[in-house]
């Protein structure tokens, strides 16, 4: 008797977003981009200049081929921009090679330690 079990997973991308205002002036924005990967996905940290009324639902993620697209939306009638520290956790299947954040594309590679 032969038993074959197959698990067909559908592609997906899920995210968790945390953000904290760090400055009222976009001139203070730091230009860093950090990634930490583990078994549960990847964590990205960076600063972004966003509308003063930014909320979690103003950011979307989607999967296109081997790229995860992250888009931040500005609200109509925004009263000004602030600098936010962004912590973005991405979990996606299958794995992806690139992440594009508002058009800025980063290659995702494993480091050797």
The pLDDT tens digits of the residues spanning 84-95 come to 999 999 999 988
Number of domains in the chain: 1
Q: Which residues of the chain have pLDDT under 70?
A: 1-7, 75-79, 110-113
Q: Please indicate, yes or no, if residue 5 is contained in any of the structural domains.
A: no
Tens-digit pLDDT profile for residues 32-51: 999 998 877 899 999 999 99
Beta pairing class for 104-107 and 98-101: antiparallel
Domain that holds residue 76: 12-107
Phi, psi of 19 (to 5 degrees): -145, 150
2 found inside a domain:
no
Q: Has residue 37 been placed in a domain? A: yes
* Assigned domain for 23 exists: yes
pLDDT at 10: 86
């Amino acid at each position: 008797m032969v038993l074959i079990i197959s698990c067909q997973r559908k592609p997906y991308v899920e995210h968790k977003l945390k953000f904290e205002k760090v400055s009222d002036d976009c001139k203070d924005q730091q230009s860093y981009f950090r990634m930490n990967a583990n078994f549960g996905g990847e964590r990205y940290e960076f600063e972004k200049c966003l509308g003063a009324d930014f909320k979690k639902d103003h950011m979307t993620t989607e999967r296109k081929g081997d790229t995860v697209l992250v888009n931040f939306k500005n609200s109509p009638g925004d009263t000004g921009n602030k600098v936010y520290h962004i912590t973005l956790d991405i979990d996606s299947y299958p794995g992806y090679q690139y992440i594009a954040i508002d058009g800025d594309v980063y290659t995702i590679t494993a480091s050797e330690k």
